[in-house]
Structure 1
């Protein structure tokens, strides 16, 4: 299994390096995240559970690292995380099923 604390520390180090090389990019990314995190209709826990499901479907380790921490801080339990992950797993399976139909379509009759 992954050492998530070491991974997180490495991300922070590399993030600082990218910020020094391209500060406008990192500022824009931070602004995008801040805007997405603003609570209007979904509470923080729900947003973080959605973020975890999306992190799985996009295979983003950095997203998993950040949003597990945020989900825990928002009060999400392992059981709630597992349920959100079930949605991600089902959605990926559904996408694979639907995309497999493209293969049959491309193959023709």
Structure 2
């Protein structure tokens, strides 16, 4: 298992712990997440890429892992991510450069891990 895949699994485990500890809160959050990610005028992949940009601007590494993985599962390509990271860096400055680089690294690691 790749390091990125293990980190994603660990993050998902932490989410599961919170879901068990606070099921009502998590049920509401889960409904919000599903509604936000549903395809509409934008595809699910595009919405996940927006989430990556927000995660980059907020500096949330676990969010980057989760949403890069979801974007890949919905068919996003590396070039799509790079375009979104360009905007995230424009809006977020230096810190977004650092987290944007992490997002690109995660995408490549998850993509390579799925080929093995």
Report the TM-score, using the length of structure 1 for normalisation.
0.75
Q: Which has the higher contact order (CA 8 A, sep 6+)?
A: 2
Tell me how large the CA RMSD over aligned residues is: 1.7
Distance 2:70 2:4 in 1: 14
Q: Match of 2:41, SS?
A: coil
Matches within 5 A, 1:1-109: 3-93=3-93
CA displacement, residues 48-80 of structure 1 (integer Å, 9 cap, x when unaligned):
221111110011112111111111122211121
CA displacement, residues 21-71 of structure 1 (integer Å, 9 cap, x when unaligned):
111111111111011012221112221221111110011112111111111
Q: Match of 2:39, SS?
A: coil
Q: Structure 2: which 5+ runs fail to align?
A: 94-116
Runs of 4+ in 1 over 4 A off after TM superposition: none
**Which moved further from structure 2: 35-44 or 79-88?**
35-44
How many residue pairs align between the two structures?
92
